[in-house]
Structure 1
């Protein structure tokens, strides 16, 4: 007997929807696209014509549709609560683009809303679904790599000023922040999933002369992990023309460097191991220049979680960890001192 088809609606058809829609096309058969919705009627009509998928006239219509099992939300963070509250009350499971919300307090509120309604809240933090990321996770979990002693994370990306000229982009009111919450959150989340929590941070954040924007386009921080490991973070959208992000774990038995999906492990016995391959990451002038494979596997897991009545692989609760770290980096930079990460 084949698995039951999961019916998903999509809310939000802006730039970030591109990999989601491409992934959903690949998942048709196991996933049914119940319909699309955005407040922009022209954009809605264009996507309906391009995909052949149905549309909704309102969020309430999605709530009232008993055939809808879950909803993918791909809107700016400031639009989330007004969507999550009615959808959760209607019993719809939710898969939401990162971040959870604009700040930690609001993020915790959305997680609580979904918990109270008894619905799943999954997060789109797709870097965990890359082959190299999963291989690195296996190495860490199995103990083969040994205890991690140092961590190095770098995100040298580029965004032209035209990117930040879009209304609200890089603002605290709409996005909640800059490079940390919008771009680096992916690698920071992956890092925490491998290393465990950070205990202390000392940071510097600011906006370079390359950009006119409210929030930061450059952030750097020193980290002390709960395990005693030390770490560094550098994230920017001012590194022209942009290059691949990387996460390096220096451990007792070897050093593992994950660069844009390709994992290279240098073992202490002199051997080398490679898993995955280099790929486009959206680090240059085109923010959406990357394949949809990771989104496809993440959405497939969300659909499976509905079928199997289990939490999705990356939950809203889990995502609170990276929100706490980003909040600590921002606070440390603002206060100019080392601070403890909120437990």
Structure 2
């Protein structure tokens, strides 16, 4: 395997998915520098083996960080991720996701960083024509969040054609769970992710879980999603980096999911099963920008990188999310 010969810069590395990627990189022997403005991230979420630089990815100071730390690869997680908010405040998403990514990519080009891994999303597909979804299927986002990510994918494709950089865009489906060793987890206040919300309800932080939409054309009328454990997703990033270093002339776009979906009610049933209790459910109308079903065809990622899921079980994902929620309660405000 080819060596990186430098550090990995992880933007948004104090956040949920980014902090898990930092753990996976460090555990694999990489040197890591985290760039995070700490608007939604937490400095305590950054493993002490990594270096934290408090900065915004759109700031020109990022170039100094790249040079000072001999960065040779960037994993870009920084950005805004709440679909309904993107509908009500689209300019925030085009600023934090698209414009900021453009600035970061330019910094990478100017400083000669050869490898770039981008945190993309299944939201770029919009309402899919078929399920499971292949990477080659049409991308027609139905919300500004998805569009902001798709625009960054296009930028990376064009930049990789024009400059000596290769990239991997990883299109996440629904990320959930927490580090099995309890080192990190989803800690953001007011989270909108279902399993996080259900874990909060199960630990007494919420009175109920809202079910947004019961009239989707799915098996029980609620939205169906492909849930991937965050530690498996982090491992996919490490494997993708190894591929980029090994094959510098190639770039890739890959779905990150398990290839099977669970409805909202099935997820809540799993939480009830794991906790041996009944979570209160409140049925509400659909949210703007929510498709009925998003499930990955993960054949490409399984055949392209040396990655195999290790925690692809809904009850395991729920158990790890609950363990982290209890840990947060012990840590206090």
With normalisation by structure 2, the TM-score equals 0.43
With normalisation by structure 1, the TM-score equals 0.42
Of structures 1 and 2, the larger Rg is shown by: 1
In terms of fraction of residues, the more strand-rich structure is: 1
